[in-house]
Amino acid sequence: MSNSQYETYEMYEPHAPYEPYELYETYDSYGPYVASGGAQREEWHGQDHQDLPLWEAATLPRQVSASSPESAPGGGRAVARRAARGKSGKGGKSGNKGARASGGGAGVGAGAGVGGESAAVERPEAIRKLLPQALVVAFLAGGTSAFVANDKAVQLIVDGKPRTLHTFADDVGELLADEGVDVGAHDIVAPASTTALASGDEVAVRYGRPVHLTLDGQRRRVWTTARTVDGALRQLGVRAEGAHLSASRSSRIGRDGLALDVRTERTVTIMADGRERTIRTNAATVREAVAESGVTLRGQDTTSVPPDSFPRDGQTVTVMRITGKKEVREEPIPFGVERTEDASLFRGTEVVAQAGRQGVRRVTYAVRTVNGVRQKPRRVESEVVREPQKRIVKVGTKRMPMSVDGADGLDWGSLARCESGGRPGAVDPSGTYGGLYQFDTRTWQGLGGAGRPQDASAAEQTFRAKKLYVQRGASPWPHCGRRLGG
């Protein structure tokens, strides 16, 4: 092939992306793909350009056929390329077969058609000599240009690792499938998978990584496409200035992700010993924040919020100075009363058979003083020193006789008012005499009474007084006996 013919081919195919020599070499290396040039046919005012000499074909105005990518309506370049690839595949096989069978002549004939032969008969001898060479160039131009148009040089960047490759894929999704790059719901592909590919395009894939993030005490699981801790913090919008990080900002994040604890800087106010201290801290606990403020907790000292809780931004923590001691007290235990019926006693009479006695309990209290203020004692221990003893009371059920011969007609009411003011439970200042008629205990019990006279009913006291009168007259009442009127 002469240089002039090669230059003519360059005019004929102005869209070829390579220099003429490189294009020829491409055909040499990828001969089986020459037939795909049929997908890039161009028509010149209704004439098949293969029927004309190369220099004439190059001067005719060009019209892009409906099968070209630029004219594909609405489907985009990817759809047009698929259609072109399908058409060129059928004709290309027969063209390749013809080329292999007859050294290229038959293949050219299959591409040029009968019209090329009739044109050769009518043209001058010089044109007829040039025609075989022109047809070979046309064959190379058609097949090789289609091959070159479908072969795209793109850059694929997977997780930051770039590589340049050649592909026949029509769109990004097809490219990723061809290269075995699987993407999930948390991965990012740019441009989108449906975007058509062209030579020189750049496709980036960034894999998502799970991060188990504990941010200021709150745990959650998030996804990021960043490959470092610093990038993940920026992507998640976490303010890291002055923050505590469990991993360095330059740490790499693998596909399996990582656990990351972040404590941002917060403002905390510490109230202690009458002073207020406001600090900026990324402490993990209130106890740490108190220590950072220069306040020391001693002994039973504590804080108004749990010392091991997470300090919040704007929180005020009060330090409570606590002193404590134990106090031991002896407290009485009340005794119970047991009442039993006694048929030997007159009704209304109650006799204490056993005196009750209080028990004693020893109780230990913890007493705290918080910031100088004494708190309510807290009972921490108790033991019984002495058990209580119950009181036993006998209650009379015997019917009281109201009559005593020789004493029933006397004025016992006047005597009672004179002796005790008419009070059955009266007791003199010395405690020797008691009741309506101021019996002493010995005289009372000698008359059949039980217990003390002041504990008996008024009726029984009157009955015993009558019996005493029968025995001794009015002498037991030297000052008031005359009031009996007897």
Domain CATH code at residue 461: 1.10.530.10
Nearest CA among 205, 151, 197 for reference residue 172: 197
In the listed set 320, 336, 351, which residue is the last one of a domain according to the structure? 320
User: According to the model, what pLDDT value does residue 198 have?
Assistant: 93
Residues 242 and 374 in one domain: no
User: According to the model, what pLDDT value does residue 450 have?
Assistant: 83
Domain CATH code at residue 259: 3.10.20.30
User: According to the model, what pLDDT value does residue 384 have?
Assistant: 95
The rounded distance, in Å, linking the Cα atoms of 151 and 144 is: 10
Residues 390 and 448 in one domain: no
User: According to the model, what pLDDT value does residue 350 have?
Assistant: 83
In the listed set 286, 320, 354, which residue is the last one of a domain according to the structure? 320
Q: Let me know: does 300 contact 285? Beta carbons within 8 Å.
A: no
Domain CATH code at residue 343: 2.20.230.10
Nearest CA among 365, 318, 480, 324 for reference residue 412: 480
Domain CATH code at residue 168: 3.10.20
Residue ranges, the chain, pLDDT below 70:
1-149, 486
User: According to the model, what pLDDT value does residue 16 have?
Assistant: 37
Residues 476 and 407 in one domain: yes
Residues 11 and 92 in one domain: yes
Residues 38 and 143 in one domain: yes
Residues 329 and 309 in one domain: no
Q: Which domain holds residue 233?
A: 209-263
Residues 230 and 287 in one domain: no
Strand partners, 293: none
User: According to the model, what pLDDT value does residue 41 have?
Assistant: 33
Task: Tell me which residue has tokens 């001898």.
Answer: 125
Residues 134 and 246 in one domain: no
Residues 247 and 338 in one domain: no
In the listed set 339, 369, 394, which residue is the last one of a domain according to the structure? 394
Number of domains in the chain: 6
Task: Spell out the long-range contacts of 365-368 with Cβ–Cβ below 8 A and sequence spacing 24 or more.
Answer: 365/326, 365/327, 365/328, 365/329, 366/324, 366/325, 366/326, 367/324, 367/325, 367/326, 367/327, 368/300, 368/322, 368/323, 368/324
User: According to the model, what pLDDT value does residue 405 have?
Assistant: 86
User: According to the model, what pLDDT value does residue 28 have?
Assistant: 34
Residues 366 and 417 in one domain: no
Residues 32 and 99 in one domain: yes
Residues 183 and 132 in one domain: no
